[in-house]
Structures are given as structure tokens and as C-alpha cells.
């Protein structure tokens, strides 16, 4: 039998063994918020968290490289797609478990939904994440932040799969949180997080949430196809303000355009390709460097 056919049979079987939905040749554009990207050979949509460890061990044992997809809101996938198997966590139904001020939540859970559920229980501290469209796992991995709050402030522990070590726990002090990053290894997979919040009145929290949602609507191109902020903020300055100051809002390359609302967002305006978005990113970097001698660094993850 041909190697590719053998591999296909193996992946299908592994997917079935670990109760995943298996998609062959999925178009990753359909799984990213910017709506861009080529295919993966397979996508395994995990349906129960307890299968994760076995699945990851099995794929490693068969020498099948994999990537983890949260909700695809920080990703630009190249037009050629990826060669690795993509494991999606978006179908994990697990509800968060609240106990006193703490909540334990599976990594595929939408972070904004968690904010609302915490608010309903009178738990405060994670309101800053309202409107962040990603998963808890993605938010922890990238230390998502907004409106002065960040994941580092609320995460007390994560459970993760670490190749060679299996499922382990890491305390906040061992996660190495930094600006838009953590020190977690490239192949480590976050399975769940424990978040510690503070009691407050649901009414007060709701008021804060509504206020932050209003700010977000005013400042960000919500409802458009984007991948969040493209660049990290250089120390002490906002990348969006630099882009704005140079008059680059509205700058376009093919179907990709710099948002007129927020200079750090690129919108897939009409059927943009990854190539066009990446060319626009390069163009912005070039112009900012030429005018201000500031080197912008991508925050968005490129696959
Ligand atoms: C309109 C809009 C507004 C946004 N606003 C904000 C904002 O205010 N603040 C902010 O910080 N971000 C913002 N973002 C970006 C994005 O939503 C966050 O970075 C989010 O945390 C990404 O989560 P995700 O599940 O979509 O990750 P994905 O895009 O799916 O993945 C991103 C990276 O994390 C890895 N990853 C995902 N899950 C896991 C896991 N369980 N274990 C290990 N690795 C994992 C992936 O492999 C990939 O490398 C915004 C995005 C959009 C589109």
C-alpha cells in the first residue's frame, strides 16, 4: 500500500479510537477568524478531554506531527496550508467547574463565555477578557490581555500535556508569563486552567462588562474578518498609534486592508490570500522602520 494511504488509514483509526470527529483535507480558512488559509491533511476534533493524553501519545508514537488549534482567532495560515495534523479543541463541551472563588475550565472553552458565567456567579477579575473571541487555552498560552488586565493575574494553575512527562500541573510561578507569551514549550498542550477570582456583585460586574464591550465596539473592527492585533506594542508605545500616525490606516494590498478603526488590525476585506496579508504586514513594517526606526514584531501566529 502507498505510504500516504497507509498514513490516512492510521490517522482515521487513531481518530476513531480516541472518539474524535475526523476531517480529511479541511480548509483551515473555515477555522480561523480572518478566514484565510490552505488545507491540513487531517483535523481531529476532540470530543472528550480524557482522550487527549492517549491521542497525543499515539500520534507521537506513530511519528505524526500535530498542531493545536483553539478558536483560530490569532492565526494566519499560509495559502499552502500545513503538513501537520491539526487537533481542534473547539468541540469539547466541558462546562467550567466553579468551587468557591475558583473555576476549573477546559482549554477549548470560549474565554468570553467564561467571563459571563463568572459574572452570573458574582465572581470578578476576568472582565477584561470580555469580547476576546479565543479559547481559554489560547488565552493562557498567549497571556491574552486588554483594558489593563491579563491572564497572568487570574490563572493560578494549568494542567498540561508535556511530551515525555505526560499530564502534569504547573503553578502560575512556573508558567513564565510575559507580554503575549509564556515559557510553555512549543509541544506542550494546555488541557485546562484553574482561575482564581474575587467575589463581587453580579450587577457591578455586568456594568463593567457592558462598559468594556462598548469600548471594544468603538475601538476595534468587531464583526470583520481579522486575527486580532497584528503587531506587539513596542515598549511604551502602541503599535496601532504608530501605524495611525503614519497615515497607514486604509492601506491595502489585494483583498487585505489596514482597519480604519484600529491601525493594528488587518481586515480580510474581500477574499484576501495569506500572501496578501503577509505582504501588507511587511509593507507596514518597512514604512514604520523607515519613518521612525522602530522595528515592529508580529504578535499574530503564522502557520
Ligand atoms: C476581533 C478580535 C479581537 C481580539 N482582541 C484581543 C484582545 O483584546 N486581547 C488579546 O490578547 N487578544 C485579542 N485577540 C486575539 C485572540 O482572540 C487571543 O489571542 C486568543 O487568546 C487566541 O485564542 P485562540 O483559541 O483563538 O488561539 P488560536 O488562534 O487557535 O491559537 C493561537 C496559538 O495558541 C496555540 N494554542 C491554542 N490553544 C492551545 C492549547 N490548548 N495548548 C497549547 N497551545 C494552544 C496555538 O497552537 C497557536 O499557536 C482578538 C482577536 C480578534 C479576532
CATH number at residue 105: 3.30.465.10
Is the minimum distance from the CB of 240 to ligand 1 under 6 angstroms? no
Residue 90 predicted with pLDDT over 90: no
Q: Are residues 142 and 195 in the same domain?
A: yes
Residue 7 predicted with pLDDT over 80: no
Atom of ligand 1 minimally distant from the CA of 32: 29
Provide the domain limits for residue 67: 3-88
Would the CA dihedral through 277, 228, 97, 193 be positive or negative? positive
Is the minimum distance from the CB of 88 to ligand 1 under 6 angstroms? no
pLDDT, one tens digit per residue, over 96-111 is 999 999 999 999 999 9
The domain total for the chain is 3
Atom of ligand 1 minimally distant from the CA of 143: 11
Residue 260 predicted with pLDDT over 80: yes
Q: How confident is the model at residue 250 (pLDDT cuts 50, 70, 90)?
A: very high
CATH number at residue 17: 3.30.43.10
Give me the pLDDT at residue 138, please.
Answer: 96
Give me the pLDDT at residue 172, please.
Answer: 94
Give me the pLDDT at residue 97, please.
Answer: 95
In 148-231 the beta strands, taken as DSSP E runs, fall at: 149-150, 155-162, 166-171, 189-196, 198-199
Q: How confident is the model at residue 191 (pLDDT cuts 50, 70, 90)?
A: very high
For ligand 1, the distance from its centroid to the CA atom of residue 30, given in whole angstroms, is 16
Give me the pLDDT at residue 5, please.
Answer: 59
Q: How confident is the model at residue 164 (pLDDT cuts 50, 70, 90)?
A: confident
Q: Are residues 187 and 227 in the same domain?
A: no
Domain boundary among 34, 61, 88: 88
Residue 4 predicted with pLDDT over 80: no
Is the minimum distance from the CB of 225 to ligand 1 under 6 angstroms? no
Atom of ligand 1 minimally distant from the CA of 108: 41
Question: What average pLDDT does range 171-194 have in this prediction?
Answer: 93
Provide the whole-model pTM.
0.94
Please tell me the distance from the alpha carbon of residue 4 to that of residue 61, in angstroms, as a whole number.
17
For the chain, what is the mean pLDDT?
93
Q: Are residues 141 and 56 in the same domain?
A: no
Is the minimum distance from the CB of 86 to ligand 1 under 6 angstroms? no
For the chain, what percentages of helix, strand and coil (3-state, to nearest 5) are there?
35, 25, 40
Give me the pLDDT at residue 2, please.
Answer: 56
Amino acid at each position: 500500500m502507498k505510504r500516504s494511504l497507509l498514513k490516512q488509514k492510521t490517522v482515521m483509526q487513531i481518530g476513531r479510537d480516541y472518539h474524535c470527529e475526523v476531517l480529511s483535507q479541511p480548509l483551515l480558512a473555515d477555522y480561523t477568524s480572518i478566514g484565510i488559509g490552505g488545507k491540513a491533511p487531517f483535523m481531529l476534533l476532540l470530543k472528550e478531554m480524557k482522550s487527549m493524553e492517549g491521542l497525543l501519545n499515539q500520534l507521537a508514537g506513530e511519528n505524526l506531527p500535530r498542531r493545536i488549534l483553539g478558536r483560530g482567532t490569532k492565526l494566519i495560515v499560509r495559502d499552502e496550508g500545513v503538513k501537520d495534523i491539526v487537533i481542534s479543541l473547539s468541540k469539547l463541551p466541558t462546562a467550567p467547574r466553579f468551587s468557591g472563588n475558583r473555576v476549573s475550565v477546559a482549554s477549548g472553552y470560549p474565554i468570553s463565555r467564561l467571563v459571563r458565567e463568572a459574572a452570573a456567579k458574582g465572581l470578578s477579575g476576568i472582565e477584561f477578557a470580555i469580547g476576546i473571541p479565543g479559547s481559554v487555552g489560547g488565552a493562557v498560552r498567549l497571556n491574552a490581555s486588554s483594558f489593563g488586565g491579563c491572564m497572568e493575574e487570574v490563572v493560578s494553575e494549568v494542567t498540561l500535556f508535556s511530551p515525555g512527562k505526560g499530564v502534569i500541573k504547573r503553578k502560575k510561578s512556573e508558567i513564565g508569563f510575559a507580554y503575549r507569551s509564556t515559557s510553555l514549550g512549543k509541544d506542550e498542550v494546555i488541557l485546562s486552567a484553574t482561575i482564581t477570582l474575587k467575589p463581587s456583585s453580579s450587577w457591578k460586574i455586568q456594568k463593567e462588562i457592558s462598559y468594556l464591550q462598548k469600548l471594544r465596539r468603538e475601538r476595534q473592527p468587531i464583526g470583520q474578518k481579522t486575527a486580532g492585533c497584528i503587531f506587539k506594542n513596542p515598549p511604551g508605545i502602541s503599535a496601532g498609534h504608530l501605524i495611525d500616525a503614519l497615515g497607514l490606516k486604509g492601506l491595502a494590498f489585494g483583498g487585505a486592508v489596514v482597519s480604519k478603526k484600529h491601525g493594528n488590525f488587518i481586515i480580510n476585506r474581500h477574499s484576501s490570500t495569506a500572501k496578501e496579508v503577509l505582504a501588507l504586514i511587511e509593507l507596514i513594517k518597512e514604512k514604520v522602520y523607515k519613518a521612525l526606526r522602530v522595528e515592529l514584531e508580529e504578535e499574530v501566529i503564522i502557520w
